[in-house]
Structure 1
């Protein structure tokens, strides 16, 4: 994890392949996102196209902090990012995560009120999450996502 004065970065090297195991990173990513949100910071989750890897990580987090199943959580993401479309392998991993999340990953918290979606360019093969304390406001469904305009490539 790289750090700037008020920014923290987590980069997960993962391919956009149905065979890629993203589940192994859900706990790490959830903890990172959760910590930023507890600090009332912004969180940006992104990948090359913003369609599959970053969406899968985001859906897993939403599932962890709400009672939504993976399809409902994906609808929340699609409300802010219409092109959200995890590949079939990632969809299967989200289904499996749904079956096990209550035992291993469920996080109970009160989320700060602010959200938006922001796509940024990135190199292929990377899924990154960044957080910051800068705030912007926009509400998508009942889940709140934050927006940051600064991205660091890894």
Structure 2
């Protein structure tokens, strides 16, 4: 009787130890770490899994993609989340930049978990019509 009780306890303990840990869930509105999504003028401009985030003091530098296509952004959390700059390299056919304080309306930044959501207007050009300057609305979601 005692042997049966011990065997049942050991079996239950082994089953509890062998179960897999619960899967981490991504909160609604967030992306999986290392993912970035872009929209330019309301159109899907792609997704990448080449994401690098480098915090330094109150600034976080975010880089996505590669030398031919991607973004570079600087986000400050000194007082509140603000986008200092966002530069686009042929993202959805758009190349240009947003820089805080240079006349464009301020970009907005929010965070869900570890996902930054940056929206604003950038000045630049379209690769299919590089002779003409244009302004484009953008949204960048990137999870560090």
Give the TM-score normalised by structure 1: 0.29
Instruction: Give the structure, 1 or 2, with the largest relative contact order (CA under 8 Å, sep 6 or more).
Output: 1
Structure holding more strand per residue: 2
Structure holding more helix per residue: 1
* Bigger-Rg structure (1/2): 2
Give the TM-score normalised by structure 2: 0.31
